[in-house]
Copies of this chain bind each other. A is one copy, B any other.
Amino acid sequence: MERVLVGQATKLIGEEVKTSGFIEAIRDQGKIKFLMIRDISGIVQIVVMEKADLLKVASGLKLESVVEVVGVVKEEEQAPGGFEIQVNKIEILSTPIEELPIPVAEKGQEETNIQQRLDWRWLDLRKPEKALIFKVWTEMESAFREYWTKNGYIEIHSPKFMSTPSESGAELFEVKYFGQTAYLAQSPQFYKQMAMAAGFDRVFEVGPVFRANPSFTSRHDTEFTGYDAEISFIESHEDVMEEESKAIQSALTAVKTGFGSEIKKLYKREVIIPKLPFPQITMQEAKKILAKLNVQNEREGDLSPDEEVKLCEYMKVKTGHEFLFVTEYPVNVRPFYHMRKEDDATLTKSFDLLWNGLEITTGAQREHRYDILVAQAKEKGLTPESLKYYLKFFKFGCPPHGGFGLGPTRMLMKLFDINNVREVTYLYRGVKRLEP
């Protein structure tokens, strides 16, 4: 007999099915036992009665035991969800050998503290509201990828070992590499630009990026998943913004279709599909608005987290839109490879994308002209020697291009209104956390 998921079993009324999962609850009434079984698709009530051997097996059960049951699906008004399975056979596949260190399904308990939950992450993830985050991630990533593959992007898997830093010398992890030192890529930036020099036209990459960031904030980690895209033959950064908006719109449409009602049920959040085009303002305009709102100008030419929140609140009222592109960041807050504006060389053809007060993306048109790129690198105090492998990409013909990097965990934080990146990462890594 093929196993069916709990979610499927409840559609097979009157049939005998095999299903399996974790014991979420046990209610003992002597000659009859009610079990709640949980699998990835849902929870169903199991009724064990009459036969002594069944009750004997069932009496060996604990919370979080893993069982396989064979039984007949019945409609039952009093059962949670309106269904139950009347068991003919039950087998214990695995049972806890120790007391559960954190509660999984017990009701009425306070949420255990986050460090404990991270220590026992696999127990924490058994809760349906936690598993939902990763179902949504799967759907979201699948939709981003579908957008990209349908629009002619090639996927690359660029190396994480580098001989030189990809972004700046700071926050870099060193690896012992056969007597040399290698560095872990802080982004696929250089290598997605290499794909443009290779004529790949448009590429995307999904992969880990590494930042030796010593901070302990709720937004930072030492390793996270990045979504990166780069496209050739653009006129300006606006072309990149348009592509990104379309990809995000299509991802959120898929999330709403697949999981909108579950997100609403478990998180009381509505998934809103953003309209195109996303609103945009320049950094200069943003700063004027923030001044009018009496928000302190904490970072010249850039936005502090507080400024991002206030700016988004204001713009959301004004535009009715949750997303906001901020463009034209000044040269001093952007890396050397961002292209500068033709009519004002103090500004870059760059943008950040904010979603409800959180930066989820940085993007730009890149400088593809060798001489200008070298000059911009020197201006930032970088030596052409330290960048020699990168700079060579631009020596033999390179299309104008631009791209963006997006943090999926930041999108998930906004989708679920969760303020800590630890909760939306499968296994968080930080300064003091390498385990489990």
A interface residues (Cβ-Cβ under 8 A, vs B): 3, 5, 20-23, 38-41, 62, 64-66, 68, 93-98, 100-101, 120-123, 125-126, 131, 134-135, 137-139, 141-142, 145, 149, 152-163, 173-178, 180, 182, 184, 191, 194-195, 197-201, 206-208, 210, 212, 214, 222-223, 225, 233, 368-371, 389-390, 392-400, 426-429, 431-432, 434-436
Q: Are A199 and B38 in contact (CB under 8 A)?
A: yes
In the assembled complex, the CB of A352 is this many whole angstroms from the nearest CB of chain B, namely 23
Q: Would you call A155 and B137 a contact (CB within 8 A)?
A: yes
Whether B3 contacts A233 by the Cβ 8 Å rule is yes
CB atoms of A149 and B138 under 8 A apart: yes
CB distance from A24 to the nearest CB of B (A): 10
Supposing A131-B199, A138-B154, A434-B163 touch, asked if A94 and B397 sit within 8 A by C-beta, the answer is yes
Name the B residues within 8 Å of A158 (CB-CB). Answer: 426-427
Instruction: From known contacts A208-B207, A397-B94, infer whether A194 and B141 are also in contact, taking CB-CB under 8 Å.
Output: no
Contact B177 A176 (CB under 8 A): no
Complex contacts, A3 vs chain B, CB 8 Å: 233
Contact B426 A191 (CB under 8 A): yes
Nearest chain-B residue to A214 (Cβ)? B178
Which residue of the partner chain B has the closest CB to A185? B208
Q: By the criterion CB–CB under 8 Å, are B162 and A434 in contact? A: yes
**Chain B residues in 8 Å Cβ range of A138:** 149, 153-155
A-B contact pairs, 11 of them (CB 8 A): A40-B152, A68-B233, A94-B369, A94-B400, A121-B194, A122-B194, A123-B396, A160-B160, A161-B210, A178-B432, A207-B207
